[in-house]
Amino acid sequence: MSELFPSHLRGVLTGIAVCCQWLFNATVAFMFPLALAGLGSYTFLLFAGINVISLIFVALCLPETRGKSLEQIEKHMEKQLTPDDAVAT
């Protein structure tokens, strides 16, 4: 996760990302027994559907970072995320 953040904000944003991951993990852990009681075995289909949606999001929206340095990734993200009119000024 940290390679997706600019170096001057990497520490703070990585901490926020890890915090969010723990909160969502806790939410799943606490919701699972309730969902199992309410939905029965369909609970597993619900979580499978969420995972499929997550996989599609990762495949379509997040860049491949394998084999690239942090500096290369940062330049790529700046170029990709900076609006065209902001670059011209």
> Is 64 part of a structural domain of the chain?
yes
Does 87 fall in a domain?
no
- Find the domain containing 63 and state its range: 2-82
Count of the separate structural domains present in the chain: 1
How confident is the model at residue 36, as a pLDDT? Answer: 94
> pLDDT value at position 33?
94
Helices H / strands E in the chain, number of each: 4, 0
Looking at residue 83, what is its pLDDT?
73
Does residue 70 fall inside a structural domain?
Answer: yes
What does each of the 89 residues of the chain score in pLDDT, given as a tens digit?
Answer: 777 777 788 889 999 999 999 999 999 999 999 999 999 999 999 999 999 999 999 999 887 778 888 788 778 878 877 776 655 54
70 Cβ contact partners less than 8 Å away, ≥ 6 residues apart = 3, 7
pTM beyond cutoff 0.95: no
pLDDT at 37: 96
pLDDT confidence of residue 57:
94
Residue 53, in any domain of the structure: yes
State the pLDDT at residue 56: 97
**DSSP letter string over 8-39?**
TTHHHHHHHHHHHHHHHHHHHHHHHHHHHHHH
Tokens at residue 22, please? 């723990």
CA 24, 26, 28, 30 torsion-angle sign: negative
